[in-house]
Amino acid sequence: MINNRDYVSTGSVKKTFLAYCFVGLILIATGGDAEAQNKKISVHDPVMIKQDQTYYLFETGRGISVWSSTDMQNWTEQEQIFDSAPEWTYEVNPEFRNHMWAPDITHHDGTYYLYYSVSSFGRNASAIGVATNTTLHPDDPDFEWVDHGPVVESVPGRDLWNAIDPNLTIDDEGTPWLTFGSYWLGMKLVKLQDNLTHVAVDTAAEWHTIAARHRYWKLDERDAGDTENGDIEAPFIFKKNGYYYLFSSWDRCCANEKSTYKVVVGRSKDITGPYLDRAGKDMRHGGGTLVIRGNEDWAGIGHNSAYTFDGTDYLVAHGYDLSDEGRSKLIMLEIEWDEGDWPQVSLD
């Protein structure tokens, strides 16, 4: 349960339009017999982490939903993080009902940092909060989530960006950065203080746009996207091969069989970019190399995270299962790297 030392806890709301996506199965596909790995748990916007021999999965849901597993296949539901929303969330959204979107989990210097989104569909009256814990094991006597309030907030009429879909990255120099964003004018990156709970005080030159799309762009068949929209969200940075890889999701999510979600990627030697796709196109100007998209079985696949567990790299995402009315399910795929050090995943 949350122990809100910085704010008093009470009620909340979130992506209510996603609610219908949370009834269904989770598929964990690691490249073998995917059907045999079907598990009856609900998931959307999944992120994962491992402590000792237990994997923990956090996802969009009331109070942030949590699952645990010892084999990444059989999952047990844990108690939600927030029984009720921190009081500060009502300043962002007076009608918030504790439905928190798109969490991100990181372990750094002995502390677990759980970032989460407070918003409502179609608006950029949004904020990213953070809670911390010294352990993820609920039976540990030190288990206690402490909320630290908002890290960054977007305000209608002031900001043309949206403070949701957070992802923390520590760069090679040890500097913490938060990337975030959904639609509007793209994916942003901002430097944090060393406490990882507040934006750095010297941020005048430390706000960066790292990916964006615009509706008037016409993409050729080489590109991954839908030429009729500029949808982009869910940035996630993964360090590998001497690069920072920026994954992002394009096109329509959360529409069951009508979803067109897909994952694209670019990379940079510098965390602030520019992030270029395989063809050298800047992700700030619509670039993005396709990683995975829907097929005859999946209407769309997206909102991914990426990790290395026990020496193997994984892409974790959710997809819309066409055999089950397009309900959202977890997909976990091994990442392979081609001769050019670009990520490759397959549903086969």
Beta bridge partners of residue 238, listed in sequence order: 245
- Give the separation between CA 338 and CA 239, rounded to whole angstroms: 16
Burial class (CB in 10 A: 0-12, 13-18, 19+), 37: middle
DSSP string, 13-43: ---GGGGGGGSS-EE--SSS-SGGGEE----
DSSP SS3 for 7: coil
Check 45, 165, 251, 282 and give the catalytic one. 45
How many helices and strands (H and E) does the chain possess?
1, 25
> What are φ and ψ of residue 201, in 5° steps?
-70, -25
Q: Does 140 qualify as catalytic in the annotation?
A: no
Going by C-beta distance under 8 Å and a sequence separation of 6 or more, which residues neighbour residue 284? 186, 209, 210, 211, 212, 273, 274, 275
| 274 prior amide bond cis, ω within 30 | yes
Task: From 116, 25, 110, select the one nearest 65 (Cα to Cα).
Answer: 116
Task: From 14, 76, 40, select the one nearest 329 (Cα to Cα).
Answer: 40
CB 348 within 8 A of CB 46: no
What is the largest distance, in Å, between two alpha-carbon atoms of the chain?
Answer: 56
Q: Does 270 qualify as catalytic in the annotation?
A: no
Task: From 93, 92, 97, select the one nearest 63 (Cα to Cα).
Answer: 97
Per-residue CA distances from 15 to 47, 68, 97 (Å): 17, 23, 10
- Give the separation between CA 278 and CA 342, rounded to whole angstroms: 8
Check 104, 165, 233, 282 and give the catalytic one. 233
Tokens of 314: 């994984």
Task: From 253, 341, 256, 249, select the one nearest 288 (Cα to Cα).
Answer: 249
Active-site annotation, residues: 45, 233
